């Protein structure tokens, strides 16, 4: 049985609101048992959620966030070929010397289930068109790409526009801002699960908001991203880096933070068994 951390702050708050029962934990033990067989409805022993201080402004990192880019340091990253540029609080992708190949930026830390916030800015004036206009992408676990593109009045194939699971699911809508304006992504990524023999037990899922608008609603992934082909799963570990794509467009980023998440139960039956 777990017990709550009975802090003075919580005790004082309850004492102020219910002075007669100041020493009692609020809740019940005579209510029905919830699925899972651990807690009653309104259980007095059920642990409180941890206190997290929200960011000072919309999009700012909360107190338990891991900040991956604060506008100054690239210390949390390593570039495939050469460091991206940092200027005026933003980092910008640059191609490898000679301009051939890609110069992706890879987080030094690895993540499984994770909440991610970042802001990006497409080049202004726009360069080129379609997939060559502001192309980047967030590659969770270095395998699963949600697309970054200049999606403002930029015709391209639907499963390759901004907000798309590349090569699989177009975004629900296109809430793009104009090139040169900062745009935000808020994403929950759930990693896939594999059996010891490599068989897929549960796909990856993504929920994504672009500029505060839902573009992917717990969408299962077809598999790892492959250009011009069907996504495929190949068994991998429980955590891997986040990768930002360099696709030859000078896309800028700022305010990048993550919150590693507890594993999400796939589903419940109403006997309370986690499947």
Task: Catalog residues that contact Mg ion under the rule CB under 5 A.
Answer: 135, 137, 245
Closest distance of CB 245 from Mg ion, Å: 5
Query: How many residues comprise the chain?
Result: 275
Ramachandran assignment for 74, one of left (phi > 0), alpha (psi -120 to 50 degrees), beta (any other): alpha
Query: Contact 25/45 with Cβ under 8 angstroms?
Result: yes
C-alpha span between 239 and 150 (Å, rounded):
30
Q: Toward Mg ion, which CB reaches closer, 137 or 192?
A: 137
Q: Toward Mg ion, which CB reaches closer, 137 or 203?
A: 137
Closest distance of CB 110 from Mg ion, Å: 21
**Residue whose C-alpha is closest to residue 27's, from 50, 6, 57:** 6
Q: Toward Mg ion, which CB reaches closer, 161 or 255?
A: 161
Ranked by CB distance to Mg ion, the top (closest) residue is: 137
Q: Toward Mg ion, which CB reaches closer, 219 or 249?
A: 249
Closest distance of CB 115 from Mg ion, Å: 21
Strand 77-79 relative to strand 85-87, pairing: unpaired
Closest distance of CB 166 from Mg ion, Å: 6
Closest distance of CB 213 from Mg ion, Å: 20
Query: Contact 239/112 with Cβ under 8 angstroms?
Result: yes
Residue 142: both structure tokens together: 């270095």
Q: Toward Mg ion, which CB reaches closer, 113 or 150?
A: 150
Ramachandran assignment for 35, one of left (phi > 0), alpha (psi -120 to 50 degrees), beta (any other): beta
Per DSSP, helices labelled H in the chain are: 8-17
């Amino acid at each position: 049985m777990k017990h709550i951390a009975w802090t003075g702050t919580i005790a004082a708050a309850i004492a102020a609101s219910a002075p007669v029962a100041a020493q009692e934990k609020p809740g019940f033990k005579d209510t029905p048992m919830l699925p899972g067989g651990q807690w009653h409805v309104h259980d007095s022993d059920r642990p409180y959620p941890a206190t997290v201080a929200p960011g000072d402004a919309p999009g700012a990192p909360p107190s338990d966030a891991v900040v991956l880019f604060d506008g100054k340091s690239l210390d949390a990253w390593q570039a495939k070929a050469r460091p991206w540029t940092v200027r005026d609080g933003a980092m910008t992708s640059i191609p490898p010397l000679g301009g051939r190949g890609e110069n992706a930026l890879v987080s030094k830390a690895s993540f499984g289930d994770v909440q991610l916030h970042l802001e990006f800015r497409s080049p202004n004036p726009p360069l080129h068109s379609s997939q060559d206009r502001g192309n980047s992408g967030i590659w969770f676990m270095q395998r699963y790409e949600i697309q970054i593109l200049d999606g403002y009045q930029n015709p391209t194939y639907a499963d390759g526009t901004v907000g798309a699971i590349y090569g699989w699911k177009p975004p629900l809508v296109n809430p793009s801002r104009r090139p040169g304006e900062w745009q935000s992504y808020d994403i929950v990524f759930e990693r896939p699960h594999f059996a010891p023999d490599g068989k897929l037990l549960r796909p990856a899922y993504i929920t994504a908001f672009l500029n505060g608008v839902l573009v992917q609603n717990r969408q299962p992934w077809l598999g790892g991203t492959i250009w011009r082909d069907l996504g495929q799963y190949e068994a991998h570990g429980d955590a891997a880096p986040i990768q930002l794509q360099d696709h030859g467009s000078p896309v800028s980023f700022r305010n990048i933070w993550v919150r590693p998440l507890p594993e999400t139960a796939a589903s419940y039956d109403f006997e309370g068994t986690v499947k």
